[in-house]
Amino acid sequence: MAGKIDWTEQVKGMLKAELKRKGVTYSQLVEKLSQLGIEETEVNIRNKIARGGFTAVFFIQCLEAIGCQSLRLSD
C-alpha cells in the first residue's frame, strides 16, 4: 500500500514548479496578479506558498497570471 499523500505539499510543489518553469519570481507574480486586479504583497505570497495554506482560487489566479494553460498532476 502506498504511503499517505501530503496534499498540501503536493499542491505547493505544483505551484512552485510552475513558477520556476515560467521563470517567474514572487515579485513578478505580484505584478502579474495586479494586472488581473488581484492585490497581494510579495511577503503575503511568500508566506502563503511557504505554508502551502492557500485556496484553490489563489492557486488558479496564480496559474492564470503566469499564463499556465495546462497542469500536469503527476510524473
Mean pLDDT by runs of 10 across the 75 residues of the chain is 81 95 97 97 96 93 95 76
d(CA 15, CA 71): 10
pLDDT value at residue 54: 93
Residue 3 placed within a domain: no
Looking at the structure of the chain, the number of domains it has is: 1
pLDDT value at residue 2: 62
pLDDT value at residue 35: 97
Residue 52 placed within a domain: yes
pTM of the model as a whole: 0.88
Q: 47 is in which domain, residue-wise?
A: 8-65
Torsion of CA 23, 26, 30, 36, to 10 degrees: 50
Residue 70 placed within a domain: no
Residue 21 placed within a domain: yes
